Structure 1
Amino acid sequence: MKRSNATAGSASVVPPAVTFDTRVVAPHERIDYWEEHCAERVVGLRCSCLSENGLTARYHYFDFGRIKMIDIAADEHFVERTPYLLRRREKDSAFLTLILSGKVFVNRAGQCAVAEAGDVVLYDTNHAYMHGFPAHGRQVIFEIPGDDFRDRFADWNLRELVHFGGSTNPGRIVPIALQNVLHSARTSNWSVENTAGLIEDEIWEVMETACSLVSGRTRSTYHAQTLRRVRRHIAENLHDPDLCPASIASTMGIGLRQLNRLFEDEPLSLMEFIVAKRLESARSDLLRYGSGASISDVSYRWGFKSLAHFSRKFRERFGVSPSRCR
């Protein structure tokens, strides 16, 4: 195992990574080595390959807090997560995966799909699947805790594979957005507080876009891009107590009626969406800082003008008071 760190005294371009590479062991030991360390950090799998030289593969594992990022590069191989491994190596996560190079054949729940460079595939680790990599390839997995996923998307079942083509409208908005997240992860200044939280926010924005596409609520690429811009503006201005539909429409140069229409088919209205995002951000702060967090400071930081209003909405949303969340 290797752990890379930024040079002392310099800003960290990426957070410290845990790296595993099968080339550090003999060819006949590589499959077992890969399975062992994938089970430790990524997910329990059974692996095979046809090369007489054994499996050549490596991954870089980045811990952003709730969200993890795993950058995997490997030669030809085949992996499967069998029903036995579902029981033996339990894992409750959603994998939002960007294919950077090569191809991957995905077999899951009776589906077989081919994902190419630039595509995104989304699936969970609670159901069996098989992946085949016919040649050298590279992928980046953003790992999302299953509980967090279900908390935000209660009606979205990931039993079936979700595939977004990198060259097909309007689905390609998801690969483009995920590439932007990857760029942010690589170029952010990790010496700045809450950088990981910002990356997490970007991942949730991508997931919201993906959910809108899968559910059929997004009608065109323009619709998806505009909705994403609005969500990004909201995320960047949640601290503003005066953030409201009228201010958003004015800032973004679109009509108020058009703005509200963007959210007509969404689970939440625009104002409900703003309140939900504020509550989620406040809850994250309370969980992160525990008893050291002032409830009033957290509520005002995320745009609530009244502590009583914040406490009432928080209990309605999460079933507990803010003080019980710390």
Structure 2
Amino acid sequence: MINGTHLVPRGAEAHPAISFDTRNVPVNDRIDYWEERCAERVVGLHCTSMSESGLEARFEYCDFGSIKMIDIIGNQHVIERSPSLLRRFEKDSVFLTFLRKGTAFVNRAQSCTVLGEGDVVIYDTNKPYMHGFPAQMRHVIYEIPGIDFRKRFPRWELNEAVRFDALVNPTRIVSRALREVVETDLALVETPAQRQSHEERLWNVLETAHAFSNGRARSAYHTAVRARVSQHIEVHLHDPELCPSGISREMGMSLRQLNRLFEGDANTLASLILTRRLQKCHADLARPGPFPKSVSETAFNWGFRNLSHFSKRFRKEFGVTPSALAEIASR
């Protein structure tokens, strides 16, 4: 039997969850059915199962916009994304996976990563891999667009599957943070504002994971302070006075100490603030509506003081002017 809760449908503007279950088809057809449905919604793969009862698996897929969530419950099975499947079913995504139940392994780049309950693993879909579950399992996958991931983390190659242990300090911070996001997504009906916050929390989890992966997070304390700084930035993006010196005073540390927390990042702290503001403006201007959004109002709402400077940086960042994007969104 497959046990577990179903995704609660989201708010009126959200896409409803799409679900399929192999138990609804004859035993001999279950593997083909699973492969076909997965290829349609997530990724092309080959599946095998040694269970005498056949593959018993349930899949629920929810589209949050740029990020997708897949909740899978099943019995013993192995999936493989071979070089031939890479060519047949192209997919440029990064999978952020949380193992809710059971054990698993990921075979990638001639190395095997073993996962326990609560562990987090990150890998991309552009390279061959095998993912297996020896017994009853449940995991949640967040599908991150590859282009967005590389823009945030241009030097994070993901040549191997990256694992974060749920039981060992300090990396269990990643597991705890992602668990909170998962539990929220599986339980709450969301408004559009909550869905936007949801994506921000996922990016914060990835920022923390990136810091550990690149050796910049030296301790649980160091990671917690980085998280506080990131949260402060998100909350105060509307404030035109938001700047590194002000953040350092708020955090009770010197500007030098603050900058050291973010050493090695693709962006300096100041450019991070600018990037997040631009991304917020882009999200607002791109939101569909009957009339074009006000460019000046949007810019000022997210802390920009100089409209000309905003327009130049926006076009450089996204390859389109703010007014053109607003016009497209209103059609």
Residue 189 to residue 233, structure 1, CA distance change in 2 (3 Å): farther
Deviations 1:92-120 (A, max 9, x none): 11000001111111101111110111110
Per the alignment, residue 21 of structure 1 pairs with: 21
Compute the displacement of 1:232 (Å).
1.5
Per the alignment, residue 153 of structure 1 pairs with: 153
Compute the displacement of 1:241 (Å).
1.6
Alpha-carbon distance between aligned partners in 1 of 2:94 and 2:17, rounded to the nearest angstrom: 21
Does residue 110 of the first structure (1) align with residue 110 of the second (2)? yes
Number of residues of Structure 1 aligned to a counterpart in Structure 2: 319
Per the alignment, residue 237 of structure 1 pairs with: 236
Contact kept in structure 1, 2:9 and 2:17, CA below 8 Å: no
Contact kept in structure 2, 1:100 and 1:137, CA below 8 Å: yes
Compute the displacement of 1:233 (Å).
1.7
* Code of the aligned partner of 2:157: N
Q: How does 1:222-233 map to 2 (within 5 A)?
A: 222-233=221-232
Q: Which runs of 5+ in 1 are unaligned?
A: none
Per the alignment, residue 168 of structure 2 pairs with: 168
Compute the displacement of 1:125 (Å).
0.8
Instruction: Give SS of 2:65's match.
Output: coil
Alpha-carbon distance between aligned partners in 2 of 1:127 and 1:225, rounded to the nearest angstrom: 33
Alpha-carbon distance between aligned partners in 1 of 2:81 and 2:201, rounded to the nearest angstrom: 28
Compute the displacement of 1:258 (Å).
2.7
Instruction: Give SS of 1:194's match.
Output: helix
Alpha-carbon distance between aligned partners in 2 of 1:229 and 1:182, rounded to the nearest angstrom: 20
Does residue 281 of the first structure (1) align with residue 280 of the second (2)? yes
Residue 100 to residue 87, structure 1, CA distance change in 2 (3 Å): same
Contact kept in structure 1, 2:8 and 2:186, CA below 8 Å: no
Alpha-carbon distance between aligned partners in 2 of 1:157 and 1:295, rounded to the nearest angstrom: 36
Contact kept in structure 1, 2:154 and 2:266, CA below 8 Å: no
Contact kept in structure 2, 1:209 and 1:224, CA below 8 Å: yes
Alpha-carbon distance between aligned partners in 1 of 2:303 and 2:295, rounded to the nearest angstrom: 13
* Code of the aligned partner of 2:287: R
Compute the displacement of 1:260 (Å).
2.7
Q: Comparing 36-45 with 166-175, which one deviates more in the overlay? A: 166-175
Q: How does 1:53-72 map to 2 (within 5 A)?
A: 53-72=53-72
Residue 6 to residue 214, structure 1, CA distance change in 2 (3 Å): closer
* Code of the aligned partner of 2:298: V
Alpha-carbon distance between aligned partners in 1 of 2:25 and 2:71, rounded to the nearest angstrom: 20
Instruction: Give SS of 2:192's match.
Output: coil
Deviations 1:187-218 (A, max 9, x none): 4442x332221111111111111111111122
Per the alignment, residue 99 of structure 1 pairs with: 99
TM-score (norm 2): 0.89
Q: Comparing 250-259 with 122-131, which one deviates more in the overlay? A: 250-259
Residue 158 to residue 149, structure 1, CA distance change in 2 (3 Å): same
Per the alignment, residue 209 of structure 1 pairs with: 208
Residue 67 to residue 6, structure 1, CA distance change in 2 (3 Å): closer
Q: Comparing 146-155 with 257-266, which one deviates more in the overlay? A: 257-266
Alpha-carbon distance between aligned partners in 2 of 1:5 and 1:213, rounded to the nearest angstrom: 33
Compute the displacement of 1:310 (Å).
1.0
Contact kept in structure 2, 1:5 and 1:15, CA below 8 Å: no
Residue 256 to residue 184, structure 1, CA distance change in 2 (3 Å): farther
Deviations 1:232-256 (A, max 9, x none): 1211221122222343334444444
**Runs of 4+, deviation exceeding 6 Å:** none
Residue 180 to residue 128, structure 1, CA distance change in 2 (3 Å): same
Q: Comparing 287-296 with 213-222, which one deviates more in the overlay? A: 287-296
TM-score (norm 1): 0.91
* Code of the aligned partner of 1:283: H
Contact kept in structure 2, 1:98 and 1:119, CA below 8 Å: yes
Alpha-carbon distance between aligned partners in 2 of 1:22 and 1:146, rounded to the nearest angstrom: 29
Does residue 81 of the first structure (1) align with residue 81 of the second (2)? yes
Percent identity (aligned): 50
Per the alignment, residue 263 of structure 2 pairs with: 264
* Code of the aligned partner of 2:149: F
Deviations 1:46-68 (A, max 9, x none): 00111222100001111111111
Contact kept in structure 2, 1:67 and 1:142, CA below 8 Å: yes
Residue 171 to residue 6, structure 1, CA distance change in 2 (3 Å): closer
Instruction: Give SS of 2:208's match.
Output: helix
Alpha-carbon distance between aligned partners in 2 of 1:131 and 1:187, rounded to the nearest angstrom: 27
Alpha-carbon distance between aligned partners in 1 of 2:18 and 2:110, rounded to the nearest angstrom: 35
Residue 214 to residue 5, structure 1, CA distance change in 2 (3 Å): closer
* Code of the aligned partner of 1:134: P
Q: Which runs of 5+ in 2 are unaligned?
A: 1-5, 327-331
Q: Comparing 316-325 with 303-312, which one deviates more in the overlay? A: 316-325
Per the alignment, residue 196 of structure 1 pairs with: 195
Residue 102 to residue 5, structure 1, CA distance change in 2 (3 Å): closer
Deviations 1:70-103 (A, max 9, x none): 1111100111001111111111110000011111
